Amino acid sequence: MEIRTVGVVGAGQMGNGIAHVMALAGYDVMLNDISQDMLEKGLAKIHSNLERQVSRDKISADDMKAAMARIKPTVQLPDLGQVDLVIESATEREAVKQSIFEQLVPHLEPHTILTSNTSSISITRLASGTDRPEKFMGFHFMNPVPIMQLVELIRGIATDQETFQACSAVVEKLGKTSATSEDFPAFIVNRILMPMINEAVYTLYEGVGNVTSIDVSMKLGTNHPMGPLELADFIGLDTCLAIMNVLHDGLADTKYRPCPLLTKYVEAGWLGRKTGRGFYDYRGETPVPTR
C-alpha cells in the first residue's frame, strides 16, 4: 500500500520533529496533542526549525510554506482515524501508549498502519492490545528528527511483510536510512547507548571524574560529538531512566541496573535541558555542571 496521509500523536520534542520531516517530504500530516497550548508550541518549533533550514539553504521558502500548510493540528484523537499511517510519539510510558491505542483503534480505517516511536518498549506487547497486530510495528526516529539520518524499524511477532515494506518506503521517501531491529528491549541504538550513559553516571556517582572531566574525556578521547552526560540532558534524564528500567526488567541482568544518582536526579525533577537543570544547569547564559 502507498502511504499518503500520516497522523502523529504527540507534538513534543519527537512528535513535532516527525511531523516536520513528514510534511517536508510531501505527506499530509494530522498532528495531535492533549492541549491546544502543546500543539501551538509544537507548530512554533516546526516553523522555527524550517526557518533555520531556509537560512542555511537546505530548503526554499516555498518548501517551508508548503510544509506548514500540510500540517493540520487537532486535540481530538479520533480525527486521526482517516489517515494511512499513525505514529504514536507520546511519553515513554507503556500505560500511556496503551491508553492512546485503546482510544484510537475504534476510529481507524481497516487499512491503517499503527506504529510507535517507542525507544525501548516491546512492540509485540503494544500490538497485542490493538485490533491489528499484523499492521503494527516500531517506527523509532532519532533525536533531533530533522537532522538525524537513522530510523529503527522494529517488527513485532505478528507484523506482516506488507506493513514492513510500506514503512520502509516511507523512510526512503524521507531521505533517511532504516535499520531493522528484532523486538528485544531497547532495540539496537538504546541497547548500546543507554548502558554507556548509565556507566557515565556511575563514573560520576563513584567520584572517578566530575561532569566536565567525563564529558571532555569522551568527546576528545573517542571523538563523540557530545559527552554522555550532556547527551543524557539532551535526551531527558526521565527518558534515560525509563529505558534503563525497561532493559533491567526485560533482560533481568544486573549490568542494566540504573545508577542511583540517575534516579535521584529524576526524583528531584532535574530532567535535563527541558527543565533547565540536569547534569548541567541551563538557567544562565552558558551551561554549568551541577557536580
For the residues 130-159, what does the mean pLDDT come to? 97
CATH 3.40.50.720 correct for 5-182: yes
CATH 2.60.40.10 correct for 191-289: no
- Residues 276-291 have pLDDT tens digits of 999 999 999 999 999 9
Residues flagged as binding site for NAD(+)? 10-15, 33, 92, 97, 119, 143, 274
Say if CB 97 and CB 121 are below 8 A apart: yes
Alpha helix positions (H), 90-160: 94-104, 123-128
Say if CB 135 and CB 146 are below 8 A apart: no
Q: What type of residue sits at position 18?
A: I
CB neighbour class for 10 (10 Å; exposed up to 12, middle 13-18, buried from 19): buried
Residues flagged as binding site? 10-15, 33, 92, 97, 119, 143, 274
Does the annotation mark 16 as catalytic? no
Going by C-alpha positions, the residue among 174, 135, 167 that lies closest to residue 153 is 167
- Residues 60-118 have pLDDT tens digits of 999 999 999 999 999 999 999 999 999 999 988 999 999 999 999 999 999 999 999 99
Annotated active-site residue in 16, 116, 190, 198:
190
- Residues 14-64 have pLDDT tens digits of 999 999 999 999 999 999 999 999 999 999 999 999 999 999 999 999 999
- Residues 163-217 have pLDDT tens digits of 999 999 999 999 999 999 999 999 999 999 999 999 999 999 999 999 999 999 9
Say if CB 289 and CB 242 are below 8 A apart: no
Annotated active-site residue in 32, 117, 120, 152:
152
At 150, list the grid cell. 537513522
At 260, list the grid cell. 542511583
For 181, list phi and psi in degrees, rounded to 5.
Answer: -120, 145
Domain boundaries, the chain: 5-182, 191-289
- This prediction has a pTM of 0.90
CB neighbour class for 110 (10 Å; exposed up to 12, middle 13-18, buried from 19): exposed
Does the annotation mark 152 as catalytic? yes
Annotated active-site residue in 89, 122, 140, 230:
140
- Which pLDDT value is given to residue 263? 98
- Which pLDDT value is given to residue 92? 87
- Which pLDDT value is given to residue 1? 79
Whole-number Å distance between alpha carbons of 185 and 182: 9
Whole-number Å distance between alpha carbons of 108 and 78: 8
- Which pLDDT value is given to residue 154? 98
Contacts of 224 (CB under 8 A, 6+ apart): 218, 231
Going by C-alpha positions, the residue among 124, 138, 128 that lies closest to residue 180 is 138
Does the annotation mark 248 as catalytic? no
Which residue is listed with cell 500540517? Answer: 71
Does the annotation mark 230 as catalytic? no
Annotated active-site residue in 119, 120, 122, 181:
119
Residues recorded for the chain: 291
- Residues 209-264 have pLDDT tens digits of 999 999 999 999 999 999 999 999 999 999 999 999 999 999 999 999 999 999 99
DSSP 81: G
Whole-number Å distance between alpha carbons of 103 and 86: 13
Beta strands in 85-242 (DSSP E): 85-88, 113-116, 136-141, 150-155, 177-181
